[in-house]
Structure 1
């Protein structure tokens, strides 16, 4: 589904050059639930951003569904992200002045073929999926951390993406809330979504299908996991 070939990412300033990713070759298959682990600063989030087409590699190529996308224009990349990818962030990135329902609708605003009534219906269905149908009129400041993350998941899945990318989705939550979020992700994966998750939590990672390890920007492990 997503293939990265000979990916290199270099960050440059006037005096310093930092190699963030070095010769990454990675294929994420349809229906996989893969986790990415490694110490802070090893390139996990950079890799996730490149998989999600939020950042461009310095070298190498990317394909999605067998289609090379490295040379896509910014507009083509944005359309692909909106139609096929969903993003979940550690810090939620909700808009405090918007209701829960309005926050979830945001990705659909860029799909001009979807009417306002359809957007509202799809957002309500996404919130029901994550157990928040009774919070549609609340605002983010009225929610717990776990509820905010569930809103963020609803926003990520409202457009029914094939691929969900999650950057430390349980990092700001206690273990109980973290397990609830992981359970939601597992349910989405069971329904066919491909998921790539960055995490520092070994126990969480071992509940996925595959564990990819990074160290200093290099892939040092890629293990298929046997789930109990």
Structure 2
């Protein structure tokens, strides 16, 4: 479904060259729930950004459903990100001036989905994460766990096949963290493919497979 072949990523400035990823090979199969672990600065978020087509590798190939991403134009990449991928961030990235419902609708605006359908899909997504009673609230009125639920609802509102989660429980206590992972596991049970970056061994043990990175290199 999502395949990385010999992926390298190097960041360059006028005086410094930093190798962030070195020869990463990873095949994510449909329906898998994979966790990515490693010390800070080892390349976990860089890997997730490349998988999500938010960043380009310096070398290697990315394929989604057998199609090489390098062959896609910018508009095709944007469409692919919007339709096939859902993103969950540690810092939530909610818009404080918008209601919970309006925040969840945002990805559908880029698809030019009608207001009626946007509203229906957003309500459905919020029901899945247990926040149907908070639709009219604003982010500042929510707890950290509730904000992350909104972020998950926003990620799944377009019914993506692949969900990429960067430390989704990193800002939460253990109780809330487990509740968020319960939601992710339910989404996985319903067919979503998930790749999650985490520092938490207990969370990683609840996923199907663990990928470890160290200094940008995959540990086998």
TM-score with structure 2 setting the length: 0.99
Report deviation, 1:145. 0.0
Partner of 1:91: 91
Q: Which residue of 2 aligns with 1:74?
A: 74
Distance 2:41 2:111 in 1: 36
**Residue of structure 2 in register with 1:5 after alignment:** 5
Q: Give the distance between the partners of 1:10 and 1:87, measured in 2 at CA.
A: 23
2:154 is the alignment partner of 1:118: no
SS of 1:70's equivalent in the other structure is: helix
Give the CA deviation at 1:96.
0.3
TM-superposed CA distance for 1:71, in Å, is 3.1
Tell me whether 1:48 sits opposite 2:48 in the alignment.
Answer: yes
1:179 aligns with 2:178: yes
Which residue of structure 1 lines up, in the alignment, with residue 191 of structure 2? 192
In 1, the alpha carbon distance for the partners of 2:10 and 2:74 equals 20
Alignment match, 2:148:
149
Render the CA deviation track for 1:179-208: whole Å, top value 9, x for unaligned: 000000000000000000000000000100
1:139 corresponds to 2:113: no
- Between the aligned partners of 1:54 and 1:23, the Cα distance in structure 2 is 19
Residue 22 of structure 1: how far off its partner (Å): 0.2
The alignment covers a number of residue pairs equal to: 220
User: Structure 2: where are the runs of 5+ without partners?
Assistant: none
Alignment correspondent of 1:107: 107
Structure 1 residue 74 displacement after superposition: 1.6
Q: Distance in 1 between matches of 2:122 and 2:27?
A: 31
Aligned to 2:58: 58
* Structure 2 counterpart of 1:161: 160
Take 1:182 and 1:118, find their aligned partners in 2: how far apart are those partners? 28
State the alpha-carbon separation in 1 of the partners of residues 141 and 70 from structure 2: 41
The SS at the match of 2:133 is helix
Q: Distance in 1 between matches of 2:211 and 2:115?
A: 40
Q: Distance in 2 between matches of 1:31 and 1:49?
A: 20
Shift of 1:73: 1.7
Indicate the residue corresponding to 1:207 in structure 2: 206
Specify the alignment match of 1:15 in structure 2: 15
Q: 3-state DSSP class of the match of 1:185?
A: helix
The ranges of structure 1 where at least 4 consecutive aligned residues each deviate by more than 4 angstroms after the TM superposition are none
2:210 partner SS: strand
Counterpart-to-counterpart distance in 1, 2:70 and 2:33: 24
* In 2, Cα distance between equivalents of 1:51 and 1:142: 33
Alignment partner, residue 35 of structure 2: 35
